[in-house]
Amino acid sequence: MTDRTCLSVVLAAGEGTRMKSAKPKVLHEIAGLSMVGHVLNAVAEAGGTAAAVVVGPGRDDVAAEARRLVPSATIHVQTERLGTAHAVLHAETELAKGYDDVIVAFGDTPLVAPETFGRLRSAVAAGAAVVALGFEAANPFGYGRLVVEHGRLTRIVEGRDATEDQRRIRLCNGGLMALSGAHALALLKRIGNVNAKGEYYLTDIVELALAEGLSTAIVEAPEEEVRGVNDRIQLAEVEAIAQARLREAAMRSGVSMTAPETVFMSYDTHFEQDVFLEPHVVFGPGVSIDSGVTIRAYSHLAGCHVASGAVIGPFARIRPKSRIGEKVHIGNFVEVNRSVLAAKVEANHLAYLGDTTVGEGTNIGAGTITCNFDGADKHPTVIGKDVFVGSNSTLIAPLTIGDEVLIAAGSTISQNVEDGALAFGRPRQSALPDRGAEKIRANKVKRAERKARGG
């Protein structure tokens, strides 16, 4: 946005007891990405130049997730949970570096849009030392209230410290804030803990700033954005909001969906124009779909790229590290895993392609299975172009099949096949004249005799 520098302090030291989980709360996922990941991505998109993440003791897993997304993120361990201001101060070394803007975000509040963080920063750039994120709460219970006098924010009062009158205020504190980097550290250090909970409240920074003659501001956002997650019910509610946003964005960018409410995406699902999605399609992380692709009902895709004009499904599964070429047809009950299919490949029914490369125009018959795993290691299968793999073929990797090869149906192929060959991997058929009819007639007689005996 600007050339101003910005430090984001992400509070993620909450215990998340109500999640009833061995996993820390902020690592629970929304649309295929941890909650803390959503926050880190949003602040980065809002121009955050550095990130400091405050974690609980022993939370190497949260630290690792933060570093996966922002390798330069600094990690600060809050051993005792003494309040939001206490938590922010754990990033003192970073705050002391003198960034222009400081954002304080919560790791369990994953829906705040990058534009909203941007608006908070703009208010700092415009001169406010403290900017609160306000929202009109349908039910203000449990939230801090924003006290506005003569048009300016004078105080944030926590519900349990509020007077009757203050409790009636509907404009609530979203919790997140932006601070002027020039003043943040000095103000934070002066916050005390004389209140109902005996905690160091970040919200006290409003009064302290005003006492210094600094100014405050409020940026408003829809309540939806400041939704925090404390339990798995709220996790599902936030997921639903995230999915609704993703569907809407996809449709706006040119994706058609017969029943959008049945399509589930990941935070990073990418579509070009004129993609058509039938009902009940699920996208795990890392999927990119080019123009003109149709994905038919009940298909599951993750970590793959699908090139233009391909038709996937119904009931197809495309797994990570797969690349599906232009105009490929993948039909029902076909699983593709870590495989690269060139243009116009067809695998229309009941197949498994794992660690496989398939050349252009090749047809994979129904029931073809690549045996890529020997119980210890995975092995590759390379299939050339314009190959016809007959139905019910078993391809035992490692294996290389040349171009224009024809594999007879029902073959088990464990040796490489040269270009142009016709390969059989099955016993030759034999037939005994008349024996079939003799047997069938004898069986008929036996059944009739048994029936006559009353059996």
Contact pattern from residue 92 through residue 131 relative to ligand UD1, giving x for each residue in contact according to CB under 6 A and a dash for the rest: --------------xxx-----------------------
Tell me, what DSSP letter sits at residue 417? B
Q: How far is the CB of 108 from Mg ion (least distance, A)?
A: 7
Least distance (Å) from ligand UD1 to the CB of residue 118? 20
- Nearest-angstrom CA–CA distance, 158 and 161: 5
Nearer to ligand UD1, 185 or 318 (CB): 185
- Which run of H or E residues covers position 45? helix 35-45
Q: Which of residues 49-78 bind ligand UD1 (CB under 6 A)?
A: 54, 78
Mark residues 331-360: x for contact with ligand UD1 by CB under 6 A, - for none. ------------------------------
Residues 172-231 that bind Mg ion (CB under 5 A): 228
What does 19 bind: Mg ion, ligand UD1, none (CB cut-off 5 to 8 Å by kind)? none
DSSP label of 161: G
Q: How far is the CB of 228 from ligand UD1 (least distance, A)?
A: 5
Asked if 226 and 174 touch (Cβ cutoff 8 Å), the reply is yes
The single residue among 43, 87, 191, 277 that binds ligand UD1, judged by CB under 6 A, is 87
Task: Map the footprint of Mg ion across residues 37-66, applying CB under 5 A.
Answer: none
Shortest spacing between CB 89 and ligand UD1, in angstroms: 10
Rounded Cα distance between 63 and 69, Å, is 10
- Amino acid, res. 293: V
Partner whose binding site includes residue 94, from ligand UD1, Mg ion, none (CB under 5 to 8 Å by kind)? none
Distance CA 175, CA 160 (A): 15
Q: Which option in Mg ion, ligand UD1, none does residue 83 bind, with CB closer than 5 to 8 A by kind? A: ligand UD1
Contact partner, 201, from ligand UD1, Mg ion, none, Cβ < 5-8 Å per class: ligand UD1
How far apart are alpha carbons 60 and 62 in whole angstroms? 5
CB neighbour list of residue 368: distance below 8 Å, 6 or more residues apart? 347, 351, 352, 353, 389, 391, 392, 393, 394, 395
Q: Smallest distance from the beta carbon of 56 to ligand UD1, in angstroms?
A: 7
CB of 317 closer than 8 Å to CB of 298:
no
d(CA 200, CA 88): 10
Is 81 a binder of ligand UD1 (CB under 6 A)?
Answer: yes
Nearer to Mg ion (CB atom), residue 101 or residue 108: 108
Residue 9's region, left for phi above 0, alpha for psi from -120 to 50, else beta, is beta
Q: Which stretch binds ligand UD1 (CB under 6 A): 6-14, 37-45, 261-269, 367-375?
A: 6-14
By CB under 6 A, name the one of 62, 188, 202, 218 that touches ligand UD1: 202
Pick what 122 binds: ligand UD1, Mg ion, none; C-beta below 5 to 8 Å, kind-dependent.
none
Q: Which is nearer to ligand UD1, 54 or 399 (CB)?
A: 54
CB atoms within 10 A of CB 179: 28
Give CA–CA dist 402/4, Å, rounded: 58
Q: Of ligand UD1, Mg ion, none, which one sits near residue 54, judging by CB under 5 to 8 A according to partner kind? A: ligand UD1
Active site residues: 349
Angle between helices 35-45 and 60-69 (to 10 degrees): 30
CB of 66 to Mg ion, least distance (A): 20
Q: Which burial class, exposed, middle or buried, applies to 446 when counting CB atoms under 10 A from its CB (0-12, 13-18, 19+)?
A: exposed
Look at the block and give the residue holding tokens 């639903």: 240
Size of the site for ligand UD1 (CB under 6 A): 26
Nearer to ligand UD1, 13 or 73 (CB): 13
Ramachandran region, residue 146 (left: φ > 0; alpha: ψ -120 to 50; beta: rest) = beta
Residues 372 and 382: their CA atoms lie apart, in Å, by 11
Please report, as residue ranges, which positions from 205 to 234 form the binding site for ligand UD1 (by CB under 6 A). Answer: 228
Q: In 3-state terms, what secondary structure has residue 435?
A: helix
**Segment contacting ligand UD1 by CB under 6 A, of 81-89, 91-99, 334-342, 433-441:** 81-89
Q: Could you say whether residue 37 binds ligand UD1 (CB under 6 A)?
A: no
Taking CB positions, which residue lies at the least distance from Mg ion? 228
Residue numbers 134-193 binding ligand UD1 by CB under 6 A? 143-144, 156, 158, 172-175
Q: Quickly count: other Cβ atoms within 10 Å of residue 353's Cβ.
A: 29
Considering only CA atoms, give the Rg of the chain.
31
Size of the site for Mg ion (CB under 5 A): 1
Residues belonging to the chain: 455
294 binds, among Mg ion, ligand UD1, none (CB under 5 to 8 A by kind): none
312: tokens are: 């996937």
Work out what residue 384 binds among ligand UD1, Mg ion, none; the CB cut-off runs from 5 to 8 Å by kind.
none
Residues of the shown chain interacting with ligand UD1 in the complex, contacts defined by CB under 6 A: 11, 13-14, 54, 78, 81-84, 86-87, 106-108, 143-144, 156, 158, 172-175, 201-203, 228
Residues of the shown chain interacting with Mg ion in the complex, contacts defined by CB under 5 A: 228
